[in-house]
Structure 1
Amino acid sequence: MRLAFLVNDVATEVDEYTTTRLARAAAERGHEVWYLGVGDVELGERNGQLVGRARLANIDDGDTLSTFMARTQDSDAERIVLDDLDAVVLRNESIADLQERPWASPLGAVFGQMLKARGVVVVNDPMSLIRATSKLYLEEFPEKIRPRSLVTRDAGAIERFVQTVGHSVVKPLYGAKGRNVFMIKDADETNLAQMTESVLLDGYAIVQEFIDGGERGDARIFVLEGRILEREGKLAAFRRVPTGNDPRANISTGGRSIPLEVSDAELAVVDVMSEKLVADGMFLVGIDVIGDKVVEINAESPGGMQSVERLYGVDVCPSVIEALERRTQSFP
């Protein structure tokens, strides 16, 4: 299988993160693996082919994630025809580019659409990914598995929602890594106006009712082709718990991961979501669950595989690559 991982920028890739682990797993299985950034693509002037200035990710015996990534980043870029690839894995985070490189933000999905139309297997599905990048995607799922919510740019509407619902969480509709996520205890919250103003600077806000138990963190569960990702009897899921007085459990904001025994409630949530995730081409997603409610769907470059490996002593990434192999073999 010839496959490429499309990332924000090859030079800024972090060796410990999920993308590196997936690329390493593919290389260890003997596949030809390439890295390219959203700024490394060209559309051929005469023949209309999509070409990438890509870096080959070779694996050597004894490689660590660090040496594997360093060799890839230090290698010379080669021009490859992306149309000839078997698969492309979209691992760029559009939100990360939204402020500094707005031109780059949508291009992963755009290039993905073009390549899919040319017969390349692209995951996650680029058309669905455009919707799934926004937290609005959660609203497409049944009400019973998601918290009561409001999407708005009206500060007054947010205040009225909190007056009605009470304890709530407000965050940007397009946001990641816990940035500008605020807990609102009630409508008498002293800093409600400042919180709302800060979130609205990023565009639309989404306000969700606070789910009981949220103060103890959430469950990050990886779903592969509609089922919980599993390897060697271990489920790819863990609990993220906040640190200190910070209510956010995101690892990037100082939260920590601990083992999770997946409950019947969480299994039921995945079961409800499964059919739609598969129909939408959501090959691999990370869902964040509190109790029996999904508070977020991470469809764009979901991360956290390092926590799974650390907590359970198993690398689940080969299971993802095996599923990708099956998909390319069955692709017409």
Structure 2
Amino acid sequence: MRLAFFVNEVATEIDEYTTTRLARAASRRGHEVWYVGVGDVELSASDGQLVARAHAAQYGEDDTLESFMERIKECDAERIVMEDLDALFLRNDSIDDLQERPWASPLGAVFGQMLKARGVTVVNDPAGLTRATSKLYLEEYPEKIRPRSLVTRDPEAIERFAGEVGHCVVKPLYGAKGRNVFMISDDGEANLAQITEAVLQDGYAIVQEFVDGGEDGDARIFLLEGQLLERDGLPAAFRRVPTGNDPRANISKGGRSVPLEIGAAERGIIEAMSEQLVADGMYFVGIDVIGDKVVEINAESPGGMQSVERLYEIDVCPTVIEALEHRAGR
């Protein structure tokens, strides 16, 4: 299989990323693997082909993640014809580019749609990603598995919602890694005006009713083709626990990961989501769960495989690549 991982920038990739682990698993299985950055693509003037300046990802015996990534960055870029690929794995994070490189933000989905139309297997499905990148996507799922929420740019509407539901969480509709995520006790919150102003700087706000148990963190659960991702009977899932006085459990904000036992509540959520995830082409996603509610769907470059590997001493990335082989007919 000829497989490319589409990332924000090759030079800024980090060895511990889930993307690195997926690329290593694919190369270990004998596939021809490439890294392509958002700014590395060109539409040929002569024949209309999509070409790219790509970096080869070749696994060497005894490679660590660090040495594997170093070799990718150090090798000279080569010209590849992207429509000759068997599969393209979209692993760029458009939210990261939204602030500093707005021109780059939509291009994963754009190039992905072009390549899908030319016969390349693209995951996650680029058409589905245009919806799933927004936290509005969660609102398409059954009410029973998601908290009551409001999406608005009206500060007064946020105040009214807080007055109605009490304890809630406000965050940008397009956001990631815990940026501008705030807890509100009720409409009497002393800093409500400042909180609202900060969140609305990023566009629309989504305000969610606080789910009981949220103070103890949330669960990150990986799903592959609408089902719980597992290997050797162990789940690709963990609980993220906040540290100190910061209520955010994001690993990027200092949260720590602990093992998670998948119970009836989690399986019920997966069952309720599975059919639509598959229909929308959401091949590989991470969902964030508190109790019996999903608080976020991470469809664009979901991460956290380092926690799974550390907690359970398993590498589930080969399972993801094996499924992609079947999908691409390879």
* TM category, shorter: over 0.9
Q: Say whether 1:212 aligns with 2:209.
A: no
| TM-align CA RMSD | 0.6
Q: In the TM superposition, what are the counterparts of 1:1-332 in structure 2 within 5 Å?
A: 1-329=1-329
TM-score (norm 2): 1.00
Tell me the alpha carbon deviations over residues 222-281 of structure 1, each in whole angstroms, 9 at most, x when there is no partner. 000010000011100000010111010000000010000011101100110000000000
Shift of 1:315: 0.3
TM-score (norm 1): 0.99
Shift of 1:98: 0.6
Q: One-letter code of the match for 2:45?
A: E
Q: Output the CA distance in 1 between the equivalents of 2:99 and 2:286.
A: 24
Shift of 1:119: 0.1
Q: One-letter code of the match for 2:319?
A: S
Unaligned runs of 5+ in 2: none
Q: Output the CA distance in 1 between the equivalents of 2:94 and 2:126.
A: 12
Indicate the SS of the match to 2:99: coil
Q: Output the CA distance in 1 between the equivalents of 2:36 and 2:255.
A: 30
Q: One-letter code of the match for 2:292?
A: D
Indicate the SS of the match to 1:110: helix
Shift of 1:300: 0.2
Q: One-letter code of the match for 2:200?
A: L
Tell me the alpha carbon deviations over residues 75-120 of structure 1, each in whole angstroms, 9 at most, x when there is no partner. 0000000010000000000000011100000000000000000000
Indicate the SS of the match to 1:39: helix
Indicate the SS of the match to 1:203: coil
Q: Output the CA distance in 2 between the equivalents of 1:66 and 1:219.
A: 28
Q: Output the CA distance in 2 between the equivalents of 1:29 and 1:158.
A: 51
Q: One-letter code of the match for 1:171?
A: K
Q: Output the CA distance in 2 between the equivalents of 1:73 and 1:88.
A: 19
Q: One-letter code of the match for 2:316?
A: V
Q: Output the CA distance in 1 between the equivalents of 2:281 and 2:166.
A: 36
Indicate the SS of the match to 2:267: helix
Q: Output the CA distance in 1 between the equivalents of 2:223 and 2:59.
A: 27
Indicate the SS of the match to 1:99: helix
Tell me the alpha carbon deviations over residues 182-217 of structure 1, each in whole angstroms, 9 at most, x when there is no partner. 000111110011001000000000000000000000
Q: Output the CA distance in 2 between the equivalents of 1:76 and 1:302.
A: 28
Q: Output the CA distance in 2 between the equivalents of 1:223 and 1:306.
A: 16
Indicate the SS of the match to 1:98: helix
Indicate the SS of the match to 1:114: helix
Shift of 1:136: 0.3
Q: Output the CA distance in 1 between the equivalents of 2:297 and 2:84.
A: 31
Shift of 1:165: 0.5
Q: Output the CA distance in 1 between the equivalents of 2:303 and 2:16.
A: 10
Indicate the SS of the match to 1:309: helix
Q: Output the CA distance in 1 between the equivalents of 2:235 and 2:61.
A: 28
Q: Output the CA distance in 2 between the equivalents of 1:12 and 1:207.
A: 32
Tell me the alpha carbon deviations over residues 126-174 of structure 1, each in whole angstroms, 9 at most, x when there is no partner. 0000100000000000100000000000000000000000000000000
Q: One-letter code of the match for 1:57?
A: A
Q: One-letter code of the match for 2:255?
A: G
Count of residues paired in the alignment: 330
Shift of 1:296: 0.1
Q: One-letter code of the match for 1:11?
A: A
Percent identity of equivalent pairs: 76
Q: Output the CA distance in 2 between the equivalents of 1:83 and 1:270.
A: 34
Q: Output the CA distance in 2 between the equivalents of 1:241 and 1:272.
A: 25
4+ long deviations beyond 2 Å: none
